[in-house]
Amino acid sequence: MTDNRQKLRQARRWVIKIGSALLTANGQGLDQAAMKSWVAQMAALAQQGIELVLVSSGAVAEGMVRMGLNGRPESLHDLQACAAIGQMGLVQAYESHFREFNCKTAQILLTHEDLADRQRYLNARSTLTTLIDWRVIPVINENDTVATDEIRFGDNDTLAALVANLVEAEILVILTDQEGMFDRDPRYNADAALLPEVRAMDESLFAMAGGGGALGRGGMITKVRAARFAARSGCATVIASGQSPQVLQRLAMGESLGTLLLPDDDRFTARKQWLAAHLQTAGKVILDAGAVKALVEQGRSLLPVGIKAVEGQFGRGEVIACMDEQGKQIAVGLINYSAEEVEKIKGQSSEQISVLLGYMSDEELIHRDNIAFM
Ligand SMILES: Nc1ncnc2c1ncn2[C@@H]1O[C@H](COP(=O)(O)OP(=O)(O)O)[C@@H](O)[C@H]1O
Ligand SMILES: N[C@@H](CCC(=O)OP(=O)(O)O)C(=O)O
């Protein structure tokens, strides 16, 4: 076992993506036996304390079967209608399979726009982290009904990577119909060789990655792109075959299955770099000495009680500067409340947030995961 595979054994938060090509048994409708096997494996992982988020395709393919269509519809509206029909079968199948293992599930439909908008990004993140904390397994797909041509992910590989960033997963597992990524498309090259471990940021991967099959959409190109996205938050990606017996269990044991695409930076460095890149902050909060100490020395979240003053206009989800009372900038962070709201709750305990604002979205102003020090 390589050191990097060994590291996967310690990964606590996983995003697992299952593609259409795999789920729908060559266009014959949902492959219930295969779904049951993945669900059994996921239930066992959850039992071991691994936090899971599932991104599953298959809505369009299942909708096509339900409507008796032989080929993927051309028109956007027909595709959207098929997705709406098929999504019912998809979540129903997951719900009933997971229920057999006493696992609760939740359906989340997302668009690219949802994650590009900071407010909605934070809302999606809060919902997902709440579900994870409650040990409920979110089952995510693209919200095909409202997604139009330009804003469609078009493939769920990208969506899965964005979700991995959103929940700060340590590993993204992309299950597909091949053993992993090969140096050429194995569908057309019998002597293609499997790549066991690569750097996600290696540009030469694009030349080796081809497009997808009839049911799947993106092929290997979107999987490489997804691994690069995931790497931005320090998340490693594994591309493996969903048909390999006990694939998830074996990956969790550190077995060298499929292709491991490694990030260049670990998750904390990546997150810090992302936040630190936001040199243009939307405003400032001035912290008292106790809050500075809690953040810097104890790695805590920033609470309203530690705020002395607010400067500038900012909205929920913007990056702001955290200053000490001497005017020195100590950190930047993604704030959960607007400047107006912080003005009302500054110096108060978190219990007062709902009293003063009439609602409470988060008990901390800036979560410790969203703080980068200077
Ligand atoms: N270098 C490569 N290695 C492995 N598979 C590749 C490669 N290039 C292209 N592919 C194709 O990608 C397909 C998987 O992607 P896709 O059809 O989109 O499935 P999914 O629905 O799982 O996303 C494989 O069946 C394979 O033919
Ligand atoms: N969201 C849609 C399409 C997603 C899609 O085709 O993705 P994939 O098969 O993973 O490349 C669906 O559920 O059918």
Ligand 1 atom 12: the closest Cα is on which residue? 219
Strands 329-334 and 371-373, how do they pair?
A: antiparallel
Q: Which two tokens stand for residue 169?
A: 């997963």
If one residue of 16, 20, 142, 187 were mutated to test the ligand 1 pocket, choosing by the most ligand atoms within 8 A of its CB, it would be 187
The predicted model gives 274-297 an average pLDDT of 86
Mean pLDDT of the chain: 90
**CA–CA separation, 217 vs 132, rounded Å?**
29
Closest Cα partner for 22 from 78, 83, 90, 73?
90
Q: Examine the pLDDT at 278 and tell me if it is beyond 70.
A: no
**CA–CA separation, 359 vs 357, rounded Å?**
5
The predicted model gives 126-139 an average pLDDT of 95
Q: Examine the pLDDT at 150 and tell me if it is beyond 60.
A: no
Res. 203 pLDDT band, cuts 50 70 90: very high
The predicted model gives 189-208 an average pLDDT of 95
Give residue 151's pLDDT. 39
> Of residues 125 and 174, which shows the higher confidence score?
174
Note whether 92 and 57 are within 8 A (CB). no
Q: How far is the CA of 140 from the centre of ligand 2 (A)?
A: 11
To which CATH superfamily is domain 278-373 assigned? PUA domain (2.30.130.10)
* 284 in a known ligand binding site: no
Ligand 1 atom 2: the closest Cα is on which residue? 185
**303 backbone φψ class: left, alpha, beta (φ>0; ψ -120 to 50):** beta
Residues lining ligand 1, CB < 6 A?
Answer: 19-22, 57, 176-178, 181-182, 184-187, 208-210, 212-213, 216-220
Helix axes 118-133, 156-166, angle to 10 degrees: 80
Note whether 287 and 80 are within 8 A (CB). no
* 17 in a known ligand binding site: yes
Task: Give me the CATH topology for the region 3-267.
Answer: Carbamate kinase (3.40.1160)
- Beta partners for residue 237, in sequence order: 172, 261
Q: What's the sign of the alpha-carbon dihedral 15, 21, 26, 30?
A: positive
If one residue of 185, 205, 208, 225 were mutated to test the ligand 1 pocket, choosing by the most ligand atoms within 8 A of its CB, it would be 185
Ligand 1 atom 4: the closest Cα is on which residue? 181
Q: What is the pLDDT of residues 291-303, one digit of tens each?
A: 999 999 999 999 9
* 176 in a known ligand binding site: yes
pLDDT > 90: percent of the chain: 66
pLDDT > 70: percent of the chain: 92
Considering the chain, tell me which residue range(s) the CATH 3.40.1160.10 domain(s) occupy: 3-267
Q: How far is the CA of 141 from the centre of ligand 2 (A)?
A: 8
Considering the chain, tell me which residue range(s) the CATH 2.30.130.10 domain(s) occupy: 278-373
Q: What is the 3-state secondary structure (H, E, C) of the chain?
A: CCHHHHHHCCCCEEEEEECHHHHCCCCCCCCHHHHHHHHHHHHHHHHCCCEEEEEECCHHHHHHHHCCCCCCCCCHHHHHHHHHHHHHHHHHHHHHHHHHCCCEEEEEEECHHHHHCHHHHHHHHHHHHHHHHCCEEEEEEECCCCCCCCCCCCCHHHHHHHHHHHCCCCEEEEEECCCCCECCCCCCCCCCCECCEEECCCCCHHHHCCCCCCCCCCHHHHHHHHHHHHHCCCCEEEEEECCCCCHHHHHHCCCCCCEEEECCCCHHHHHHHHHHCCCCCCCEEEECHHHHHHHHCCCCCECHHHEEEEECCCCCCCEEEEECCCCCEEEEEECCCCHHHHHHHCCCCCCHHHHHHCCCCCCCCECHHHEEEC
Q: How far is the CA of 219 from the centre of ligand 1 (A)?
A: 4
Note whether 233 and 162 are within 8 A (CB). no
* 177 in a known ligand binding site: yes
b/e map 98-121, b = 16+ CB within 10 Å: beeeebebbebbbbbebbeeeeeb
Note whether 4 and 42 are within 8 A (CB). no
**CA–CA separation, 262 vs 232, rounded Å?**
11
Residue 2, Cβ neighbours under 10 Å: how many?
12
Q: What is the pLDDT of residues 214-257, one digit of tens each?
A: 555 678 999 999 999 999 888 999 999 999 999 999 999 999 99
The ipTM (two decimal places) reads 0.97
Note whether 373 and 296 are within 8 A (CB). yes
The predicted model gives 133-143 an average pLDDT of 96
State the amino acid at position 228 in one-letter form: R
Backbone angles phi, psi at 355, to 5 degrees: -65, -45
Q: How far is residue 59 CA from its own chain's centroid? A: 19
